[in-house]
Chains A and B, each alone.
Chain A
Amino acid sequence: GAGVSQSPSNKVTEKGKDVELRCDPISGHTALYWYRQSLGQGLEFLIYFQGNSAPDKSGLPSDRFSAERTGGSVSTLTIQRTQQEDSAVYLCASSLNGATDTQYFGPGTRLTVL
């Protein structure tokens, strides 16, 4: 079946612009996660959704970052007024029920802020 998909695969933007990243989880997966990975670094947890609600938003780096999930499916991560340090690969993952389940990752969105 279809895996996790993310769009766009690459995004180049200018400093100060807003960007929206999209994640389509595996159908039927209730849990959805956003991470970012800077070059040569590990994954940094951003946010976790159970259904449409996010119990823990403490991983979002600043108030320029927001995320939402609708219909228990698609999620968008929005970064306002992008900065150069936002450049990274943004990875989305989904799992069937929650934290104890396997997370299946999408291919990521590579964001470059000029």
Chain B
Amino acid sequence: RKEVEQDPGPFNVPEGATVAFNCTYSNSASQSFFWYRQDCRKEPKLLMSVYSSGNEDGRFTAQLNRASQYISLLIRDSKLSDSATYLCVVNVNGGFKTIFGAGTRLFVKA
């Protein structure tokens, strides 16, 4: 079983749609959690950190469920510019190791 698993997609949605991505992780001792975004042939960039209390940044909402070892990302009112690969990221081993999920590809269509 992979340490971090994501639905690879692709998700094809129209502009304005709400889309949700899920991620599960296997190491119950995982300490910190993030969503990164990667555009085609570009380096990953932080989208947002994920906290147990949940956090929101504009159209983006991230949730963490430690009991279920589950992380989610909700994108509301999708824009064309949201088209990218979304990477679920978990720090394990006392923070010494960072595990990236394989990513979920999103295409937003006009």
> Could you tell me which A residues sit within 8 Å of B by CB distance?
33, 35, 41-45, 48, 50, 55-56, 58-59, 91, 98-100, 102-103, 105-108
Contacts and interface: CB of A to CB of B under 8 A. Distances in A.
A91 B49 CA distance: 21
Contacts of A103: 44, 46, 98
Contact of B43 (A45, A48, A108): A108
B45 interface: yes
A56 B96 contact: yes
B31 A45 contact: no
Given A100-B91, A103-B46, A106-B43, A59 B97 contact: yes
A99 B95 contact: yes
Contact of B87 (A43, A58, A99, A102): A43
A53 to B, nearest CB: 10
B7 to A, nearest CB: 13
A56 B103 CA distance: 24
25 contacts: A33-B98, A35-B100, A42-B87, A42-B100, A42-B101, A43-B87, A45-B97, A45-B99, A48-B98, A55-B94, A56-B93, A56-B96, A91-B43, A98-B95, A99-B31, A99-B91, A99-B95, A99-B96, A100-B32, A100-B95, A103-B44, A105-B43, A105-B44, A105-B45, A107-B43
A43 B97 contact: no
A50 B101 CA distance: 23
B102 interface: yes
Nearest to B92: A99
A21 to B, nearest CB: 15
A102 B49 CA distance: 8
Contacts of A102: 34, 46, 49
Contacts of A56: 93, 96-97
B103 A42 contact: yes
B102 A42 contact: yes
Interface string B43-56: 11110010000000
A108 B62 CA distance: 28
